[in-house]
Amino acid sequence: MSTSEQLKKQKQYQQYVKKITPSHSLPLNMAKAFLTGGLICTFGQWILNTAASFGLDKETAGTWCSLILILFSVILTGLNIYPRIGKFGGAGSLVPITGFANSVAASAIEFQTEGQVFGIGCKIFTIAGPVILYGILSSWGLGIIYYTLKIMEVIS
Amino acid sequence: MKPGIPYGAASIEFLQPVYIESAAAITGQKEGDGPLGNLFDMISQDPLFGAKTWEAAESTLQKETASLAIGKAGLSPSDIRMIFAGDLLAQTIASSFGIAETGIPYYGLYGACSTMGEALSLGAMAVAAGYGNHILCAASSHFATAEKEFRFPLGYGNQRPLSATWTVTGSGACVLGSTPPVSNPQKSADTMRFHNGCAVITGITTGKITDFGFKDSLNMGGCMAPAACSTIYQNLYDFGRTPEDYDAIFTGDLGMIGQQILLDLLSEKQIDIRNIHKDCGLMIYDNKTQDTHSGGSGCGCSASVLAASILPEVARGTWKRILFVPTGAMLSKVSYNEGASIPGIAHAVVIEHRDL
Amino acid sequence: MDYINAFWVGGAICALVQILLDKTKLLPGRVMVLLVCSGAVLSALGLYQPLTDYAGAGASVPLLGFGQLLWKGMKKAIDQQGLLGLFTGGFTACSAGVSAALIFSWIASLIFHPQMKK
């Protein structure tokens, strides 16, 4: 069999498998994600408002908001509750900052048996590492553009 | 006298039947809550099996199952000539660390979820060739070790697609022998013998790696069904049989989607096994109430279902001849990340009822 | 009012990402990376700030907001330190979030043990 024929056959097989594979109901999943994500953000808004009522400025309030959400997420991960929220909410629990914290905490707890350095130390970044790397890298790339435009006095 | 005859391209018929002397299965709680729960020898409520790590837990599970199978045959570890065993972990550590304590000569196998088929094939060949009177075959899997090895840490909140399978926490072990299982009126043994019936291995078909270029690791049925199709077809062709010659054909862990694909692929070849096909992954859980999506998976799935449900039924004579075809998906995290496809393999073992 | 805006905007972002998860089979790790990078780009283009003004936590709590935070920190650092800011801005901006996640998680690893999924 020639390579192109083989590729065609593989493609046919993939399409066939896709056709017979059932999937979750997307509208239902979206509704669950909407509810879960919405509630987490509303809780965040409550923290923001409470912080503001203590007279904190916007930036400081935002930092407290992240800190408290992360703390809650880590505790719920440890108590094995966050996986259940994730199973129900899908993207609703993945997209907020709590999803990031969950990925760090789950790795730390899981890999403690492999030791402090090569277990927790290395593997704590298994899922969250890429987020930090590419977050820093993309902001750096954007920073270079901004810096260049600034030197060329395109923007002030 | 010759121990067996090679048939066709990939099969062997044993001239002297290889007796299955005993079989044992131990599982976790979720499997114990399933439809086969009352058939397993033991169900552990503690997913750690008294150990400190998931890996040690799986080792303990496999060791206990192996010891139980040896005990049920009325034997002691020193009677066992060699062990063929495997699991899903990298470098098959669950088996090596578990079996180490028994002090029995050991071959470690990796056949992914098809490992029990691989172990039985090699074990039967060794017994038929006269290299040992008692040989142990075992395989295990554990939900937590498999999640850690292939997917996410357990505390991570992700959604599993409906095509995903649930790794069975369980282990199955069989003692193969050149003599029939003893009938033991003193009840010191609990062999695979019902009245005067027992189960024997009469042939095998060795699977080949089958790759349809499929890459979705959360749809294992789609990766492995072509391998099951290829091995079942080869078995029928080599032995000159039709599906009617088998009372049942058991695959290991194709799940709902894989089963559908297998039936479709075989019907393209004008072979219909619709009425006799069963899948261990669909037998072990109640998909509706246990939320396991496509079904159970892992080497422990086919191994524990074989030991607890299939073999006793063959020994009783409910089925006269069955084909046991566990399938495996040959991927590693590295091959997956590097974009390689997920090839499958399936090993077939012909098991027949014998009156003694 | 700000609670309602936070709820529906935050919820809507999650619902849209759910489409991405279900339709493209992108693994969660890739989706998180995508969100943070998009957040940074959208903010640099000045498109994200209006949403933050409107929805508050509804826009800042999702990981897109994490990207926005990174960009804001980067811009501030370049304005103050010039070239050096390129290398201090990102981590300065996300220091609280990342430190909290790491520290709390490490403490959690002392207290909790992995448990089986149900």
Give dist(CA B354, CA C77) in Å, integer. Answer: 82
Contacts of B134 (CB under 8 A, 6+ apart): B21, B73, B75, B79, B80, B81, B175, B176, B177
ipTM of predicted assembly, 2 dp? 0.95
Contacts of A49 in chain C (CB under 8 A): 2
Give dist(CA B5, CA B203) in Å, integer. Answer: 9
Contact A86, A94 (CB under 8 A): yes
Name residue, tokens 């027992």. Answer: B198
Name chain B's partners: 3 or more CB pairs within 8 A.
A, C
* Minimal C-alpha gap between B146 and chain A (Å): 13
In tens, the pLDDT along B72-83 reads 999 999 999 999
User: Which amino acid is residue B117, in one-letter code?
Assistant: G
- Chain B residue with CA closest to C28: the answer is B158
Contact C44, A70 (CB under 8 A): no
In tens, the pLDDT along A76-119 reads 999 999 999 999 999 999 999 999 999 999 999 999 999 999 99
Residue with the bigger pLDDT between C23 and A44: it is: A44
The predicted model gives B234-253 an average pLDDT of 97
Contacts of C115 in chain B (CB under 8 A): 154-155
Beta bridge partners of B140: B171
| Chain C contact present for A52, CB below 8 A | no
Enter the DSSP assignment of B243. G
In tens, the pLDDT along B7-63 reads 999 999 999 999 999 999 999 999 999 999 999 999 999 999 999 999 999 999 999
pLDDT at B185: 62
Name residue, tokens 């954007």. Answer: A142
B319 pLDDT more than 80: yes
Name residue, tokens 């062997």. Answer: B12
Domain boundaries of chain A, sorted by first residue: 25-125, 128-156
Closest alpha carbon to B87 in B31, B41, B148:
B148
Contacts of A84 in chain B (CB under 8 A): 157
Residue with the bigger pLDDT between B163 and B250: it is: B250
Beta bridge partners of B138: B85, B173
- Decide if A127 and B53 are in contact by the 8 Å CB cutoff: no
* Alpha helix (H) residue ranges in chain A: 3-20, 26-53, 58-78, 82-89, 91-94, 97-110, 122-123, 129-151
Give dist(CA B222, CA B218) in Å, integer. Answer: 9
Assigned token pair, A88 = 């129900």
Contact C108, C114 (CB under 8 A): no
Contacts of A22 in chain B (CB under 8 A): 162-163, 257
Assigned token pair, B330 = 């040959």
A55-A61-A65 Cα angle (round to 5): 140
pLDDT at C25: 76
- Chain C residue with CA closest to B47: the answer is C116
In tens, the pLDDT along B146-182 reads 999 999 999 999 888 889 999 999 999 999 999 999 8
Contact B310, B235 (CB under 8 A): no
Choose the closest CB to C115 out of B28, B154, B161. Answer: B154
pLDDT at B187: 65
pLDDT at B221: 94
- Decide if A38 and C82 are in contact by the 8 Å CB cutoff: no
Contacts of C25 in chain B (CB under 8 A): 161, 216, 218
SS3 A2: coil
B184 pLDDT more than 80: no
Contact A135, C67 (CB under 8 A): yes
CATH topology for B197-355 is: Peroxisomal Thiolase; Chain A, domain 1 (3.40.47)
Chains A–C, number of C-beta pairs less than 8 Å apart:
270
CATH of span B4-177: 3.40.47.40
pLDDT at B183: 80
Choose the closest CB to A74 out of C2, C94, C104. Answer: C104
Closest alpha carbon to A37 in A74, A2, A89:
A89
Contact B295, B165 (CB under 8 A): yes
Closest alpha carbon to B300 in B50, B21, B9, B47:
B47
Domain count, chain C: 1
Query: Which of C5, C18, C51 to mutate to test binding with chain A, by most A CBs within 10 Å of its CB?
Result: C18
* Minimal C-alpha gap between A53 and chain C (Å): 14
Give dist(CA B221, CA B164) in Å, integer. Answer: 9
User: Which amino acid is residue A99, in one-letter code?
Assistant: G
A156: burial class by Cβ within 10 Å (0-12, 13-18, 19+)? exposed
Q: Where in chain B is the domain with CATH 3.40.47.40?
A: 4-177, 197-355
The reply to whether C116 falls in a domain is no
Report the relative pairing of strands B11-28 and B321-325 from DSSP bridges: unpaired
**Of A124-133, B103-112, B182-191, B345-354, minimum mean pLDDT range:** B182-191
Name residue, tokens 């999943």. Answer: A29
Name residue, tokens 């402090």. Answer: A116
Domain residue limits at C63: 2-111
Contact B172, B253 (CB under 8 A): no
The reply to whether C11 falls in a domain is yes
The predicted model gives A58-64 an average pLDDT of 94
